A and B are shown apart, each in its own frame.
Chain A
Amino acid sequence: MSRLHRFASPARFVRLADRIQPWTGWAAALLIGAGLVVGFGFSPPDYQQGDTVRIMYVHVPSAWMAMFCYAVMAVCAAAGLIWRHPLAHVIAHGAAPIGACFTIVCLATGMLWGKPMWGRWWAWDARLTSVLILLFLYLGYIALANAFDNTARGDRSSAILALVGAVNLPVIKFSVDWWNTLHQPASVTRIGAPAIHSSMLTPLLLMAAGFMCLFAALLFVRVRAGLLERRLRALRHARAHAGGMDTGTGLS
């Protein structure tokens, strides 16, 4: 555990992030590019869904990432509350908008797929509703984190909200098993062999790996920007404070 705490130093994290970030960026570009080529060029159309199935190569990885981002956010929020590492809060704030974007992509591609397949853009079933709630949790988290003049208050309030909202993650995961939904149950992560043919699984996994690298690359950029923003705010605050003391002595 103490080995992990070494990375709570923002300076050490930024040095490490600077080194890893270009690699994650290029890996994301290559993997997503390969996934798109294989997905559109070499994977067969589904025998029922036809070419519409190709939407899944974007939809499924973005759904995974939407949940993964929230899990990252919740774990960082807990770490920030327990050990009071400011870096953990910066990472949680950095992950939130990325996760919100993945959720929007997931919902939008799902609607595009739903219109030809189910005959309607939106069905109010458990999976769709719980993912929509996930989006609102992300947006509420972002709003709460920015609602305080005091940064530390925004950090800790939003961290508690992130932990409360984590209740939703198992609901999303198991919604297709608990309720009789229109959305199909898991076909990749089930016990035993995946229920998809390898010609379709390959582009799916390429895209998933690419999305994961994209998340890492974006997160590193956002965390670095967040740390700089905090430093800037602290400097401004210090300068305003010093300036205030000067004017306090006279009418200048």
Chain B
Amino acid sequence: MSAFAAALGRELRLAIREPGEAAAAAMFFVLATILFPFGVGPEANLLARIAAGVLWVAALLAAMLSLERLFLGDYEDGSFEVLALAPLPLSLIAGAKMLAHWLTTCIPLIAATPLMAVLLDLGTDGYLVLVAAMALGTPTISLIGGVGAALTLGARRGGMLLSILVLPLLVPVLIFGAGAVDAAIAGHAVRQQLMVLAAMFLAAAALCPWAAAAAVRQALE
């Protein structure tokens, strides 16, 4: 456990010393969201109707931006060779990196979400559910995205490829994440959607670090 904490601490220290990356993802999220009122027109009803989906799509795309760097730095400078020899299983190292990605990239996105929801005229019933759905859904983005980042290590056009591989797999998160907010605004129960989001998160947490470790290991061979 202490080794996992050390691995996580290393990732967080690296992120704190390079704060631009997390800030860039949050900036992208804000800008991408702001583009929609210009694109579809500022009509309040229309914006309120599409707000949940827009915020989810923008969050997905913003998270994609920073995923490419998740394993690449350590892979290129050779640190991964050392980490792979460490007593901590490679799957836990991958898990620590995914957790660090969630803490440094997705938490700022979640923090910015209520403000963006105000700009998009989301109904007040939806706020709490939107933040809860984001909190349950974004870890799945970090986990599945981490597998994609590990698979594309050293590939040509890795960043673009990463989005192509990962976004189709994240469609269920988008469906249930936006669906929960729509249900809350319409006055229906949201328990079911949130439970599905939590189930997807737990399944991804069990499988993705392991798959990412397998992908990293074959990249190191």
Contacts of A140 in B (CB 8 A): 161, 164-165, 168
Interface string of B165-187 (1 = CB under 8 A from A): 10111010000000000000000
> Does any Cβ of B come within 8 Å of A104's Cβ?
no
Q: Which residues of chain B are near A81, meaning CB under 8 Å?
A: 214
Chain B 147-176 near chain A by CB (<8 Å), digits 1 or 0: 100011011111001001101110100000
Instruction: Please tell me if the beta carbons of A144 and B215 are within 8 angstroms of each other in the complex.
Output: no
Residues of A with C-beta under 8 A to B171 = 129, 133
Distance of A112 from chain B, by nearest CB (Å): 24
* Chain A hits for B218, CB < 8 A: 153, 156-157, 160
- CB pair B164–A136 under 8 Å, yes or no, is yes
The yes or no answer to A188 lying at the interface (CB within 8 A) is no
User: Does residue A16 face the partner (Cβ distance < 8 Å to B)?
Assistant: no
Q: Give min CB distance, B17 to chain A, whole Å.
A: 30
Nearest-neighbour CB distance to chain B for A143, whole angstroms, equals: 6
Taking the closest CB of chain B, its distance from the CB of A60, in whole angstroms, is 24
Number of interface residues of A (CB under 8 A): 22
A153-B218, A164-B169 known; A144 vs B154 contact (CB < 8 Å): no
Annotate B182-212 by CB proximity to A: 1 below 8 A, 0 otherwise: 0000000000000000000000000000010
Q: Is the CB of B165 within 8 A of A161?
A: yes
Task: Give Cα distance in the complex from A149 to B219, angstroms.
Answer: 12
Q: Contact between B165 and A144 (Cβ–Cβ < 8 Å)?
A: yes
Residues of A within 8 A of B155 (CB): 144, 147-148, 157
**How far is B151's CA from A26's CA once the two chains are assembled, in angstroms?**
40
A90 lies within 8 A of chain B by Cβ: no
Pairwise interchain contact B161-A136, C-beta atoms closer than 8 A: no
Q: Kindly list chain B residues whose C-beta atoms are within 8 Å of the C-beta of A143.
A: 161, 164-165
Interface size counted on chain B using CB atoms at 8 A: 21
Instruction: Tell whether A139 is near chain B: CB-to-CB under 8 Å.
Output: yes
Which of A129-180 touch B at CB < 8 Å? 129, 133, 136-137, 139-140, 143-144, 147-149, 152-153, 156-157, 160-161, 163-165, 167
Q: Are B168 and A147 neighbours in the complex by a CB distance under 8 Å? A: no
Give complex CA distance A161, B144 in Å.
11
A99 CB to closest chain B CB (Å) equals: 15
Shortest CB-to-CB span from B34 to chain A, Å, is 26
Query: Which one, A136, A139, A144, A149, contacts B151 given CB within 8 A?
Result: A144
Specify which chain B residues have a CB less than 8 angstroms from the CB of A144 in the assembled complex: 151-152, 155, 161, 165
In angstroms, Cα B169 to Cα A139, docked, is 13
Residues of B within 8 A of A139 (CB): 164
A164 interface neighbour in B156, B157, B211, Cβ under 8 Å? B211
Task: Determine the residue in chain A with the shortest Cβ distance to B163.
Answer: A140
**B127-154 contact mask (Cβ, 8 Å, vs A): 1 or 0:** 0000000000000000000010001101
Cα distance A223–B54 when bound, in Å?
Answer: 44
Report the nearest A residue to B167, measured CB to CB. Answer: A136
Residues of A within 8 A of B168 (CB): 133, 136-137, 140
**In this complex, what residue of B is CB-closest to A140?**
B165
Q: Which 9 A-B pairs have the closest CB atoms?
A: A147-B155, A136-B168, A156-B218, A140-B165, A157-B151, A133-B168, A140-B164, A147-B156, A160-B215
Identify 25 residue pairs between A and B in the complex whose beta-carbon atoms are under 8 Å apart, listed by A's number.
A133-B168, A133-B169, A133-B171, A137-B169, A139-B164, A140-B164, A144-B151, A144-B155, A147-B155, A147-B161, A148-B154, A148-B155, A149-B156, A152-B221, A153-B154, A153-B219, A157-B151, A160-B151, A160-B214, A160-B215, A161-B165, A163-B211, A164-B169, A164-B211, A165-B169
User: What would 18 more interface pairs be, CB under 8 Å, given A139-B164, A144-B152, A167-B169?
Assistant: A133-B171, A140-B168, A143-B161, A144-B155, A144-B165, A147-B152, A147-B161, A157-B151, A157-B218, A157-B219, A160-B147, A160-B151, A160-B211, A160-B214, A160-B218, A161-B151, A163-B211, A164-B169
